[in-house]
Amino acid sequence: MARVAVIGSGIGGLSAAIALRAKGFEVDVYDQASELSEIGAGVSLGGSGMRVLDALGLGPAVREASANLHRIEFHHWLSGDIFYQHPMGSWYEQRFGGPFLGIHRADFHQILLSAYGDKPHLGHRCVALRESPDGVDLEFANGSTTHADVVVGADGLRSTVRAHVGEPDEAVFSAMSCFRGLVPVDRVPGGDRFGLTFFLGPGRHLVAYPVRGGELINFVAYVPDPEWTQESWSARCAPEDAVAAFHGWNPVVTTLLANAVETGRWALYDREPLRTWSTGRVTLLGDAAHPMLPHAGQGTNQAIEDAAALATYLESDLPLHEALQRYERLRKPRTRQIQLGSRANATCFQVPDGPPADERNARLQGLPQMVGWIHEYDVYAAMETGSEA
Ligand SMILES: Cc1cc2nc3c(=O)[nH]c(=O)nc-3n(C[C@H](O)[C@H](O)[C@H](O)COP(=O)(O)OP(=O)(O)OC[C@H]3O[C@@H](n4cnc5c(N)ncnc54)[C@H](O)[C@@H]3O)c2cc1C
């Protein structure tokens, strides 16, 4: 079986490594981080991602570590009035073939690490790739080198592998950043009843949901700010900065922001959809291929779907180059549409009160129909029907 080097041990890289090992590939994972620490807050997992995790045997562990989001609610930023709500929980599971979960990224990462079964090669920042008919030579910043038959670039928004594969491009700054944090549930008014909760207002919005079996409420509070450009998962700020940015909002919002155990601030970037993801032996996966703004909650799900597709095509009888092309053809249209849709969502969430908000709220009544295509997607069925065409 081919030897695969996966660059990046995030959610995408580890999912790919697990899926590839399950098919019998020899896999090594390399990451620039010198240690894997508990950085990050909540991520959401929907039906399409859970279908893959179930197939990989990870469903029970993931469900146990998560919170099942039993309803979705959209609130007015000031009054707190609900202008759209819908059950999720078992309704979602029946409709979309898997649950909708909130999970702490660190908990999820730990589950993936255990399933992978090895330690990734840490302190290995990939700096160069040389591709030949015999394979790919990889160079790392620590001076070490390795050789692989196939390389998967799962190295995130600032991917080095992307620069080898695709046309040169720059990350696109959205002029928006977000405050992120986790709050013990007993410090949030009505916290034990939280599902997937939105507060939408002019020029700002907040999304919150439980993680870790409901012990913690994860929030992400979005503000326009062309000055804050630091794109880092470890950048911290004072909780008061977040409270000040939402001054005058409903007390549920300001209480959430004021009670964060730790507040992070993260500038939001994505990239334009790529025209080419793969060369003869190298391909991209997850944020390296299709970094997206978080407004559709799909970054993690799309990386997991990628992993299932890549492993299936690589295992097929197709020549390597053709297998990578098929993978790319399957994944590109869907992830492109979600990348562009995520951009559009931010604008729609933050329209002013009055007719623009009324129109948005009227459209929200059709939410399950609008987003069904994202959540019901079955990557295995799509490969069988060859729906990339
Ligand atoms: C530390 C961290 C915390 C996060 N926290 C959250 C969160 O709380 N909420 C949320 O919605 N999303 C979070 N994300 C992003 C989210 O995980 C991703 O958007 C999504 O899961 C897709 O994952 P990915 O594996 O494609 O990319 P990422 O999760 O970004 O993983 C990329 C990996 O590649 C490694 N890497 C980068 N460049 C190189 C290189 N040249 N050589 C070797 N390794 C390299 C990075 O160290 C990282 O481990 C976080 C990402 C990271 C890295």
Instruction: Quick: pLDDT tens for 216-235.
Output: 999 999 999 888 887 777 77
Whether residue 13 has its Cβ less than 6 Å from ligand 1 = yes
- What whole-number distance in Å separates Cα of residue 137 and Cα of residue 129? 6
- Which CB contacts under 8 angstroms, 24+ apart, belong to 125-131? 125/32, 125/160, 126/7, 126/30, 126/32, 126/155, 126/160, 126/161, 127/160, 129/160, 129/161, 129/164, 129/282, 131/164, 131/279, 131/280, 131/281, 131/282
3-state class of 123 per DSSP?
A: coil
Query: In the prediction, which pLDDT does 189 show?
Result: 85
Q: Of the residues 30, 84, 92, 209, which is catalytic? A: 209
| Sheet (strand 67-68) strand order | 42-45, 101-104, 67-68
For 74-132, the pLDDT digits (tens) are 999 999 999 999 999 999 999 999 999 999 999 999 999 999 999 999 999 999 999 99
Cβ pair 175, 225 in contact under 8 A: yes
- Ligand 1 centre and the CA of 106: distance in Å? 11
Tell me which of 34-38, 146-150, 250-254, 284-288 is least confident. Answer: 34-38
- Ligand 1 centre and the CA of 219: distance in Å? 19
Q: Output the six-digit token pair for 233.
A: 């998962």
* pTM of the entire predicted model: 0.95
Query: In the prediction, which pLDDT does 25 show?
Result: 97
Query: In the prediction, which pLDDT does 126 show?
Result: 98
Whether residue 243 has its Cβ less than 6 Å from ligand 1 = no
Domains of the chain from N-terminus onward = 3-171+271-385 (3.50.50.60)
Catalytic annotation present for 209: yes
Whether residue 44 has its Cβ less than 6 Å from ligand 1 = no
Phi-psi region of 40 (alpha: psi -120 to 50; beta: other; left: phi over 0): left
Backbone angles phi, psi at 93, to 5 degrees: -60, -40
